[in-house]
Structure 1
Amino acid sequence: MAAARAGGAGVRVLIACPSYPPQAVTCGVGDYTRCLAEELARQGEQVTVVASAAWRGPARGGVAVLPILDDAAPWWRVVAADVVNLQYAPDLYRHRRRALRATFSTPAVVTVHTLLDATLGSRAAALWLLTSARHVVAANEEVTAMVRRRLRWLARRLTEIPIGSNIAVAAGGDPLATRAALGVPARAPLLAHFGLVYPGKGMETLLEALAMLRRARPEACLVVIGDTRESERAYRAGLEALALRLGVAAAVTWTGRRTDEDVSRILAAADVFVAPFDGGASIRRGSLMAGLAHGLPVVSTSPAAPSAYLRDADNVALVPPRDAAALAARLAALLASSAERARLAQGARKLAARVAWPAIAEETRAVYRRVLV
């Protein structure tokens, strides 16, 4: 087995991820890959990542990075590796179809983050990848369900390993100072939303719910932490216009892109984390996992399919998608009950502990060992 090479060196792992950070635009799959790669390196593996030409460097965490994924040369042959692990989501390869035409002589693992929003061409590419891979890792329950429903023959080569938070909990910090820097009063109820700003996150519902909530709690504020892609600037402007029409513009702070440490400290200063996804909550959402990892009471929307991880009134508070009145009522109830907030926060921490990066990396290493036998 490759892991037992002379000198006790770890397995040589080659990971493909176009959006590996740092890059000009943040990406959840890229952040996941960074966290996984650095933890694999900490656990003794030799990790090289091939990223797109947009990678800005520097490499860190004991991981070597080669921005060659957009080159004509076959990326999977550039580095000697014992196992290849390709990170897959349709939008990452929409203009990189050539990168998916891999003919693996090295044992390959494909980690699938989503199969939604796939074009006909990307579906064909995904089928080729899944067929040629020695093993498939489903990063969430939706992928597992889709594979078992539509690609049953793949189920015996499938392992589900949920993602963790892409934002580490920062040490220290002063919540009152953080609030002051945001212009939020020390005692004001502070809601936090985190992640890239784009359609489908339920931001319209959240702004409408904030307007309703402020009728009873006029001091309530919202901080929206996250970047906006250039293609979504008009959408973001529309949200700001909606906040103005609803009369809550002064109660909403848009931070834009922040460092991981800043994000963590802002989350630590919040009372409730809110993620009202239009399509329902999912453990594939790194932003949701960040709220859980920071021990916040989390309010989100009911998953599209039953979840073994997200349990209403246990580790998360769930409301119907696109229902501003239900969201406002659940937020008001939480803000009125410190005991309920504490109970949800405890459940959030327990769930986050189940999907911490050391455990994720060890489960991934077990998959590598399986394909190398």
Structure 2
Amino acid sequence: MRLALVTGEYPPLPGGVGDYTRELARALQARGHVVAVWTDRRGGEDAPSSVPVFRVVPRWDARAWFALGRSLRAWGPDGVLLQYQAAAYGLGGAMNLWPAIARLWLGEIPIVVVFHDLRVPYLFPKAGPLRAWSVRFLARRAKGVIVTNHEDEAVLRAAGIRFLRRIPIGSNIMPPSDLPPPSTARARLGFPGDLPLVGFFGFLHPSKGFDLLLEAVAMLTREGAAVGLVHIGATAAPSDPSQRDYAAWCRRRIIELGLQGRVWETGYRPPEEISLAFAAVDLCALPYRDGVSFRRGTLMAALAHGRAVISTFPRVSIPELQDGDNIFLVPPDDVKALALAIRRVLGDPDLRLRLERGARMLAKRFAWERIAAQVEEVFQSLSQRLQK
């Protein structure tokens, strides 16, 4: 099949949706499909790649409809996979309408939407209920819908979306086969060799609870525990400038809590250096305020690197997560419980080893080859339906 992937962000811009698109494109290509990516003009010149990238979109407004329509029609896809996250499109609503409008150029070529989350776009002041309506409209006008997690699946099924599949995301940072031991990783990154280190991965956003983790580390420090914190990766996504205010507040909070010299930031780094930072920490704490979810690429990366993960109870049941075996769960927004969990996992080598082994086993479910095969099945099913 000739498959076109449309995304609001793409490397070298940092961002989970862009990284997902790149990895999925590679995996689909490895399965024998002809794949290309369509995005906007940000990011500059693309590095050499087997996956062509068409940077044809000037802005994610009505102009995107015409730019995508003309370019896609000339390329001639058998199917289009639209990556949807409102923030990646600047919180505008133009792409929520695109599957309905794209028929002018693409006819009955199936458009499948991958919802990375169900965050509503801003649209315009006082848009109110129109914001949620625009997300449902996008789901209904697509030929097929893919969600990445149990929570969004429940919401869209309740909204009456029929051709709906749940396909998880994989890790956007794939660990090398020869990760160095922690001592080597720490020496290369300039981290202290004898201090227990907790890792946090991803952009700083209130929903990810980095401020809660700061409070927990400060609580442990006041109690005399030796522990440090490493923020792995970039601070804010280019597609969501609102994150910068939260990041600035967190930096001020580090000073207020007296954590200078206890918190390290790697900043944006190439994948091999991100993997090095994962190797350097003793565990990963991801205290999501809205509960752990398989839509979180930060979780997938921690699992793929075989880290012991502390996170928060999910909003809906996720049978694959086994508390105490492949993840350690605490209530959301509970600093004391988070601090106690960090102390327990750091102080119990057997528990930490069990969590690391469980993480590696769980990560096998999210291999890109497996994800690409499921996406392929979606388009094959749609093709059979259209032929009837």
Give the TM-score normalised by structure 1. 0.90
Q: 1:358-369 residue pairs with structure 2 within 5 A?
A: 358-369=369-380
Unaligned runs of 5+ in 2: 59-63, 123-128
For residue 314 of structure 1, report the CA deviation from its aligned partner. 2.1
Is the 2:84–2:116 Cα contact (8 Å) retained in structure 1? yes
Q: 1:130-145 residue pairs with structure 2 within 5 A?
A: 130-145=139-154
Q: Which residue of 2 aligns with 1:37?
A: 25
Q: Which residue of 1 aligns with 2:37?
A: 49
State the Cα deviation string for residues 213-257 of structure 1 (Å, max 9, x = none): 224554311100122235433322221221222122210001211
Q: Which residue of 1 aligns with 2:192?
A: 185
Amino acid at match of 2:148: A
Amino acid at match of 1:88: Y
Q: Which residue of 2 aligns with 1:7?
A: none
Q: Does 1:73 align with 2:70?
A: no
Is the 1:97–1:125 Cα contact (8 Å) retained in structure 2? no
Q: Which residue of 1 aligns with 2:79?
A: 83
Distance across 1 between alignment mates of 2:179 and 2:322: 30
Distance across 2 between alignment mates of 1:341 and 1:57: 43
Is the 1:114–1:142 Cα contact (8 Å) retained in structure 2? no
For residue 179 of structure 1, report the CA deviation from its aligned partner. 1.2
Distance across 2 between alignment mates of 1:305 and 1:239: 29
1:22 equivalent among 12, 16, 25? 12
For residue 88 of structure 1, report the CA deviation from its aligned partner. 1.1
Q: Which residue of 2 aligns with 1:206?
A: 213
Q: Which residue of 2 aligns with 1:113?
A: 116
Q: Which residue of 1 aligns with 2:227?
A: 220
Distance across 1 between alignment mates of 2:267 and 2:326: 28
2:170 equivalent among 146, 164, 171? 164
Q: Which residue of 1 aligns with 2:344?
A: 333
Distance across 1 between alignment mates of 2:168 and 2:79: 20
State the Cα deviation string for residues 16-36 of structure 1 (Å, max 9, x = none): 10102112xx22111111110
Is the 2:93–2:134 Cα contact (8 Å) retained in structure 1? no
For residue 121 of structure 1, report the CA deviation from its aligned partner. 4.6
Distance across 1 between alignment mates of 2:219 and 2:336: 7
Amino acid at match of 1:129: L
Q: 1:134 to 1:233 in 2, by over 3 A?
A: closer
**Matched residues, number:** 358
For residue 263 of structure 1, report the CA deviation from its aligned partner. 0.5
Q: Does 1:303 align with 2:314?
A: yes
For residue 278 of structure 1, report the CA deviation from its aligned partner. 1.3
State the Cα deviation string for residues 157-182 of structure 1 (Å, max 9, x = none): 11110111110102435432331344
Q: Which residue of 2 aligns with 1:129?
A: 138
Amino acid at match of 2:169: I
Q: 1:78 to 1:129 in 2, by over 3 A?
A: farther
Q: 1:264 to 1:343 in 2, by over 3 A?
A: same
Q: Which residue of 2 aligns with 1:5?
A: none
Is the 1:18–1:30 Cα contact (8 Å) retained in structure 2? yes
For residue 201 of structure 1, report the CA deviation from its aligned partner. 1.3
SS at match of 1:341: helix
Give the TM-score normalised by structure 2. 0.87
Q: 1:256-295 residue pairs with structure 2 within 5 A?
A: 256-295=267-306
Is the 1:240–1:249 Cα contact (8 Å) retained in structure 2? no
Distance across 1 between alignment mates of 2:319 and 2:330: 17
Distance across 2 between alignment mates of 1:254 and 1:129: 38
State the Cα deviation string for residues 318-349 of structure 1 (Å, max 9, x = none): 11111111001011111111110111111111
SS at match of 1:49: strand
1:351 equivalent among 362, 371, 384? 362
Unaligned runs of 5+ in 1: 1-10
For residue 308 of structure 1, report the CA deviation from its aligned partner. 2.5
Amino acid at match of 1:248: L
